[in-house]
Structure 1
Amino acid sequence: MTDQIAATGPLTAEAVELALTEYLTEKTSTEIKPGDDIFASGLVSSMFAMQLVVHLESTYDIAIIGPELRIDNFRTAQVMAALVLRLSEDGSAPDA
């Protein structure tokens, strides 16, 4: 799976965005671009946001907790990529 490759390669915004747009496109059966608001478009529900949390945590070995658990952090692949990079840089991985 591409997102697994992205997680083992260099962690860049572009790599994470690409992996996420592919994941979202697969899950929604609709082409998703990095800046598309997946909730405003009606393609996904708030329940799917929790699936995104699990996906991001397991793929990128990060913990998304507390104030980071806001729907605004999951609206676009760009925003999610920034969240992944921020948490990775902060050392917020579960083993940190």
Structure 2
Amino acid sequence: MEVKEKVKSFLGRFFRKHEIDDDEDIFSLGFVNSLFAMQLVMFVEKEFGILISNEDLDTENFKTVNKITSLIESKIK
């Protein structure tokens, strides 16, 4: 399974009634709170074996499926 598919699968568990587009702002949907944001960061670190630094903890990096995928791919190369 590729990076984007794994991210979409994870997000799909939280957004069950909504199909997320790759460029849709998940924060603007109103479902994201600080607990979910931390779960997302922990999922990314554990699933892909990378470390998200304090500099990476910008909502811009986690706003869309494509941005999350880009961040992960930049760390695993």
TM-score where L is the length of structure 2: 0.87
Partner of 1:53: 41
Gaps of 5+ in 1: 1-5, 7-14, 90-96
> Hey, what's the Cα distance between the residues in 1 that align with 2:19 and 2:9?
8
Partner of 1:93: none
Gaps of 5+ in 2: none
User: Considering only aligned residues, what root-mean-square deviation do their CA atoms show, in Å?
Assistant: 1.2
Task: Detail structure 1 runs of 4+ shifted over 4 Å in the superposition.
Answer: none
Matched to 2:67, the amino acid is V
> Hey, what's the Cα distance between the residues in 2 that align with 1:66 and 1:23?
22
Equivalent residues, number: 76
Identity of aligned residues (%): 32
**1:50 CA displacement:** 0.9
Max Rg structure: 1
TM-score where L is the length of structure 1: 0.72
